[in-house]
Homo-oligomer: A and B are copies of this chain.
Amino acid sequence: MKNVNASIITIGDELLIGQVIDTNSAWIAQQLNKIGVAVKRRIAVGDSAVDIVDILDEESKYSDIILMTGGLGPTSDDITKNVLCNYFGGKMVVNEGALKNVKYLFEQVFKRPISEVNLRQAEVPDVCEVIQNKRGSAPGMIFNKGRVIYISMPGVPYEMKGIMEEAVIPLLKEKFKLPVIVHRTMLTAGIGESALAEIIKDFEDELPAEIKLAYLPTYGMVRLRLSTSGFDKNAVEENIDKYFNDLKLLAKDYLVTDLDEPMQVVVGKLLKEKNKTVSTAESCTGGYVAHLITSVAGSSKYYEGSIVSYSYNVKESVLGVHGDTLNTLGAVSEQTVVEMLKGLLGKLNTDYGVAISGIMGPDGGTEDKPVGTVWMAVGNKEDYQTQKINLRFSRERNIEVTGMMALNFLRKFILAN
């Protein structure tokens, strides 16, 4: 049986000049994959009628489902709705449901006067089926032509997600006979992509054709993913799990989790299991580790807070680092992070703590301590460990990789203590 293929088209000039990063199409791809739709291509095109028409023509050759986002806003640079109206040979009419929704939003939610421009959001081509948008003023639209279904959604992620979850996913599941696509993903840390490839070379060579292996580097770690598909869910899962278990054994020294979840979720689960708390003292990461931890819903169960000690002053006055230590050894030193850790645990009274100090660049490096030098300490009231790392990326990436390495260092300490 052949795959059901989809193309995802994001529309907007801002995507082509790189002013925004497209997060919609990754999210849509995830949702389609979960229900067994194979994403064939993701394309970004500009707010140009001829370019939109060209890409619709092309993608309809490859795909059964074409999902579009963007270009449905109230302003004149948003042309998608009119282009689709012409493409499918319709004319614009007011949709009563959409009109009611726009009025409700402006009168009850935004509490702003409603304008001509806003009211035009309720107009749709008479050849489409309307999907009401409960989170905004631009409705979604469904068109059918030949064997292909075309769905247009707003580009605002929150609105698009509502329409996908409530209407599009149920519709596609009903309309198509979809195979089960199964992925198994694990996260490894502390080993590079090619070293990992050496370790699992024999395994990889012997993988059957129906199972694909992918290496996904992420913040200095590597995720390994096995993928397969079929129509008998149990058989497919049994088959992939056999290989996935073998792979876990091979990678066991570097395995962080055998689920497709980020490091901060793994650390959070571990703390919840042990009923323990943690706090952080951050210099160079400037609150990024706190942000990672608190991006997880329910993190207040195990996270107390962070002292972001960006200056010498805060290191001394809040964390109690000795002026002598800072002046003789410097803020980026083993002794400083140890004193930060001890001050943190004393002050915030958590079971575990992490302290980080380094030079993220682009300036601030010296011959002894080049940009990318980072010291970190992790510990509890009885014991601690320190490590020094050397990074060689941009400021942004140095912060991200340091944050992840600190969480991995914490994870290993918790497991051992």
Chain A interface (Cβ < 8 Å from any Cβ of B) = 13-23, 25-31, 33, 38-47, 51, 54-55, 58, 62, 73-77, 110, 112, 115, 117-118, 135, 137, 156-158, 161, 183, 185, 192-195, 197-198, 201, 204, 212-218, 223, 225, 227, 260, 279-280, 282, 285-291, 293-295, 297-300, 303-311, 313-314, 317-318, 347-349, 361-363, 392-397, 399
A21/B21 in contact, CB under 8 A: yes
Question: Which of B43, B290, B307, B310 contacts A318 (CB under 8 A)?
Answer: B307
- List 10 A-B pairs, Cβ < 8 Å: A15-B42, A18-B30, A20-B26, A21-B23, A58-B58, A77-B213, A112-B195, A117-B197, A156-B217, A286-B299
Distance between Cα atoms of A307 and B399 in the complex (Å): 19
A310/B286 in contact, CB under 8 A: no
A45 smallest CB distance to B (angstroms) = 6
Closest to A394 in B: B158
A-B pairs, top 4 by smallest CB distance, nearest first, are: A286-B294, A287-B290, A287-B287, A18-B29
Distance between Cα atoms of A295 and B394 in the complex (Å): 11
B287/A310 in contact, CB under 8 A: no
A193/B73 in contact, CB under 8 A: yes
Question: Which of B74, B183, B297 contacts A361 (CB under 8 A)?
Answer: B297
Once A291-B291, A305-B307, A395-B297 are accepted as A-B contacts, the answer to whether A42 and B16 lie under 8 Å apart by CB is yes
A158/B20 in contact, CB under 8 A: no
Number of copies of this protein chain within its complex = 2
Distance between Cα atoms of A118 and B19 in the complex (Å): 36
A73 smallest CB distance to B (angstroms) = 6
Distance between Cα atoms of A156 and B45 in the complex (Å): 24
Contacts of A397 in B (CB 8 A): 157-158
Contacts of A26 in B (CB 8 A): 15, 18-22
Distance between Cα atoms of A362 and B197 in the complex (Å): 39
Contacts of A18 in B (CB 8 A): 25-31, 33, 39
Distance between Cα atoms of A42 and B213 in the complex (Å): 26
A17/B41 in contact, CB under 8 A: no
Q: Which among A29, A260, A308 has the highest number of chain B CB atoms within 10 Å?
A: A308
A223 smallest CB distance to B (angstroms) = 8
A14/B214 in contact, CB under 8 A: yes
Contacts of A195 in B (CB 8 A): 112, 115
Contacts of A308 in B (CB 8 A): 280, 287, 290, 294, 305-308
Once A18-B30, A297-B395 are accepted as A-B contacts, the answer to whether A314 and B305 lie under 8 Å apart by CB is yes
